[in-house]
């Protein structure tokens, strides 16, 4: 029997969207690998678990209780050599390989049915290379990174949910409260180490096409990323939140508020983030500001107050404290959440929104949310260096539905699909890969735009036998 959640909890979940079995081994990260090495198997690099073994259940599960897949074998890896060894075993057995870092994939692509799951939860260390650069394991959660770097006055632009793994987040892009200031998470990625589909270990540095590909297109496609080097930024000292609510709205008022919100947040300072959230009859707008001053956004605050019923402000708090408010629930939930389009503005949804909003409002557990992107995410330099193709879109939206008991799932999913199909049929041309939906038919173009063919060439090079495969993995040519 699941835990009981209140609507407040679901709203909190929405806004989050902006174990040690053995000590980990950091040798892999400090060693200077030659361009291509294939280590021979050695003891202590990986431990295997099959159904019935202690730990199997814990290791296969992720954050989404809706996902229930059972791999034939779980390889709990302790270093890149262990990953290489596991890949060679999967190759021999002709098992598809799924890769799991933080286990937050919304469609469960980090685990599979009857194949091998490479679990990287033990690669969770943080190593300081100098005061502005860290190397982290992909299994590091965001909260672990923030807790390490914020006390030292440093920041890495990431999402807000504490349990999300840096591995999956950065390989798909990574947006968050400070993305407009510093870019996507992948824009701070300097280097990575990856074990390919034959068990060879590669390092990718600036200028390498593998690094380009992994900045937006790297989720479970080319190989297993075992180490990530990030440039850190000076952390803004303080962050303040402003919250605006409309209670008991009708659809017409919610649509008007949404249309106005698009206009009011379109030229916020880069230190700001905003989200428009609709759940049943409540509209909730969040505005965060880390610019250290209110004057720059006072006009926006006044205008948002004018279109809503209740405004509350937090005091400006140290960033580490302010971010914790958005860390979210640590325990798994039943839900479906997917990208509902990246938009240039309200016009992109004008043709479907009058149908969407009443349906969202009439659907228990459903949330429609639009978040700001833009700012430095549009930086042409970042665009050149990454395969993330959607920088021109200043808004990203997501559709979410939550439930408490399994019996509610079919109806919630049915409603979700009905609303999502309204977006899909309205001409949306861009979706965010880190919020996948198995129902997207043209996901190649939606996630990767014009970069898909180039990503396929890189897939051919690093995973020619298509070992890493799932519903929407990049296909070999």
Ligand X SMILES: Cc1cc2nc3c(=O)[nH]c(=O)nc-3n(C[C@H](O)[C@H](O)[C@H](O)COP(=O)(O)OP(=O)(O)OC[C@H]3O[C@@H](n4cnc5c(N)ncnc54)[C@H](O)[C@@H]3O)c2cc1C
| Contact residues: ligand X, CB under 6 A | 16-18, 62-63, 98-106, 109-110, 120, 138, 159-161, 164-165, 167-169, 171-172, 174-176, 218-220, 224-225, 328, 434
- For the bound state, the minimum distance from the C-beta of residue 191 to ligand X, rounded and expressed in Å, comes to 14
- For the bound state, the minimum distance from the C-beta of residue 110 to ligand X, rounded and expressed in Å, comes to 3
Would you call 182 exposed, middle or buried from its count of C-beta atoms within 10 A (0-12, 13-18, 19+)?
Answer: buried
Alpha-helical (H) ranges within 315-442 are 319-324, 353-361, 380-385, 409-424
- For the bound state, the minimum distance from the C-beta of residue 38 to ligand X, rounded and expressed in Å, comes to 18
- For the bound state, the minimum distance from the C-beta of residue 138 to ligand X, rounded and expressed in Å, comes to 4
Spell out the residues 6+ positions from residue 411 whose beta carbon is closer than 8 angstroms to its own.
none
- For the bound state, the minimum distance from the C-beta of residue 475 to ligand X, rounded and expressed in Å, comes to 15
CA distance 58 to 349: 41
When the beta carbons of 423 and 470 are compared against ligand X, the nearer one is: 470
Closest CA to 29 of 198, 195, 150, 197: 195
Dihedral, CA atoms, 242, 378, 337, 440, nearest 10 degrees?
150
Spell out the residues 6+ positions from residue 75 whose beta carbon is closer than 8 angstroms to its own.
46, 47, 48, 82, 83, 86, 89, 90, 116, 117, 118, 119
Spell out the residues 6+ positions from residue 184 whose beta carbon is closer than 8 angstroms to its own.
157, 173, 174, 175, 215, 216, 377, 382, 386, 388
Spell out the residues 6+ positions from residue 357 whose beta carbon is closer than 8 angstroms to its own.
251, 254, 255, 258, 278, 368
- For the bound state, the minimum distance from the C-beta of residue 477 to ligand X, rounded and expressed in Å, comes to 20
When the beta carbons of 106 and 265 are compared against ligand X, the nearer one is: 106
Q: Which 8-state DSSP code applies to residue 325?
A: T
- For the bound state, the minimum distance from the C-beta of residue 355 to ligand X, rounded and expressed in Å, comes to 27
- For the bound state, the minimum distance from the C-beta of residue 98 to ligand X, rounded and expressed in Å, comes to 6
When the beta carbons of 169 and 353 are compared against ligand X, the nearer one is: 169
When the beta carbons of 268 and 474 are compared against ligand X, the nearer one is: 474
When the beta carbons of 173 and 236 are compared against ligand X, the nearer one is: 173
Q: Is the dihedral of CA 46, 220, 191, 122 positive or negative?
A: negative
When the beta carbons of 353 and 437 are compared against ligand X, the nearer one is: 437
- For the bound state, the minimum distance from the C-beta of residue 250 to ligand X, rounded and expressed in Å, comes to 30
Question: 200, 138 in Cβ contact below 8 A?
Answer: no
When the beta carbons of 261 and 335 are compared against ligand X, the nearer one is: 335
Q: Which residue is nearest to ligand X (CB)?
A: 168
When the beta carbons of 308 and 386 are compared against ligand X, the nearer one is: 386
When the beta carbons of 202 and 307 are compared against ligand X, the nearer one is: 202
Q: Which two tokens stand for residue 69?
A: 């897949």
Q: Hey, how many other C-beta atoms are within 10 angstroms of the C-beta on 28? A: 25
Would you call 264 exposed, middle or buried from its count of C-beta atoms within 10 A (0-12, 13-18, 19+)?
Answer: buried
Question: 293, 275 in Cβ contact below 8 A?
Answer: no
- For the bound state, the minimum distance from the C-beta of residue 193 to ligand X, rounded and expressed in Å, comes to 10
CA distance 394 to 396: 7
- For the bound state, the minimum distance from the C-beta of residue 247 to ligand X, rounded and expressed in Å, comes to 26
Question: 246, 254 in Cβ contact below 8 A?
Answer: yes
When the beta carbons of 17 and 357 are compared against ligand X, the nearer one is: 17
Q: Where are the beta strands (DSSP E) in 314-374?
A: 317-318, 334-343, 366-372
Helix (H) or strand (E) holding 331: none
When the beta carbons of 99 and 255 are compared against ligand X, the nearer one is: 99
């Amino acid at each position: 029997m699941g835990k009981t959640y209140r609507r407040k909890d679901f709203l909190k979940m929405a806004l989050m969207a902006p174990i040690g079995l053995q000590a980990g081994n950091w040798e892999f990260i400090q060693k200077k690998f030659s361009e291509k090495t294939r280590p021979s198997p050695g003891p202590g690099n990986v431990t295997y678990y099959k159904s019935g073994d202690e730990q199997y259940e814990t290791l296969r599960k992720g954050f989404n209780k809706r996902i229930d897949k059972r791999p034939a074998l779980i390889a709990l890896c302790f270093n890149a050599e262990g990953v290489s060894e596991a890949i060679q075993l999967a190759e021999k057995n002709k098992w598809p390989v799924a890769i799991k870092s933080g286990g937050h994939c919304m469609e469960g692509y980090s685990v599979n049915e009857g194949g091998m799951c490479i679990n990287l939860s033990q690669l969770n260390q943080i190593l300081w290379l100098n005061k502005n650069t860290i190397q982290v394991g992909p299994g590091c959660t965001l909260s672990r990174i923030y807790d390490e770097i914020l006390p030292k006055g440093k920041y890495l632009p990431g999402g807000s949910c504490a349990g999300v793994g840096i591995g999956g987040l950065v390989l798909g892009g990574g947006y968050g409260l400070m993305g407009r200031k510093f870019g996507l998470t992948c824009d701070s990625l300097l280097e990575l180490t990856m074990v390919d589909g034959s068990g060879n270990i590669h390092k990718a540095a600036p200028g390498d096409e593998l690094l380009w590909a992994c900045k937006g297109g790297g989720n479970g496609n080319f190989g297993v990323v075992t180490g990530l080097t990030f440039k850190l930024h000076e952390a803004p000292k303080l962050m303040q939140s402003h919250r605006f609510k409309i209670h008991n709205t009708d659809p017409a008022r919610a649509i008007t508020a949404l249309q106005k919100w698009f206009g009011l947040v379109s030229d916020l300072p880069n230190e700001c983030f905003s989200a428009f959230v609709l759940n049943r009859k409540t509209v909730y707008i969040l505005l965060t500001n880390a610019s250290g001053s209110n004057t720059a956004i006072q006009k926006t605050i006044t205008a948002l107050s004018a279109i809503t019923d209740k405004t509350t402000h937090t005091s400006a708090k140290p960033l580490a404290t302010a971010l914790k408010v958005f860390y979210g629930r640590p325990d798994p939930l039943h839900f479906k959440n997917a990208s509902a389009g990246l938009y240039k503005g309200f016009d992109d949804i004008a043709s479907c929104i009058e149908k969407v909003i009443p349906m969202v409002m009439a659907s228990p557990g459903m949330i429609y949310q639009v978040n700001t992107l833009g700012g430095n995410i549009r930086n042409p330099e970042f665009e050149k260096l990454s395969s993330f193709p959607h920088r021109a879109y200043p808004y990203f939206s997501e559709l979410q539905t939550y439930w408490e008991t399994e019996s509610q799932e079919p109806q919630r999913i049915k409603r979700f699909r009905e609303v999502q199909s309204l977006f899909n049929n309205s001409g949306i041309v861009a979706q965010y890969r880190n919020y996948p939906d198995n129902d997207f038919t043209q996901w190649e173009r939606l996630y990767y735009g014009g970069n898909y063919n180039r990503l396929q060439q890189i897939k051919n090079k690093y995973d020619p036998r298509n070992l890493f495969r799932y519903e929407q993995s990049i296909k070999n040519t």
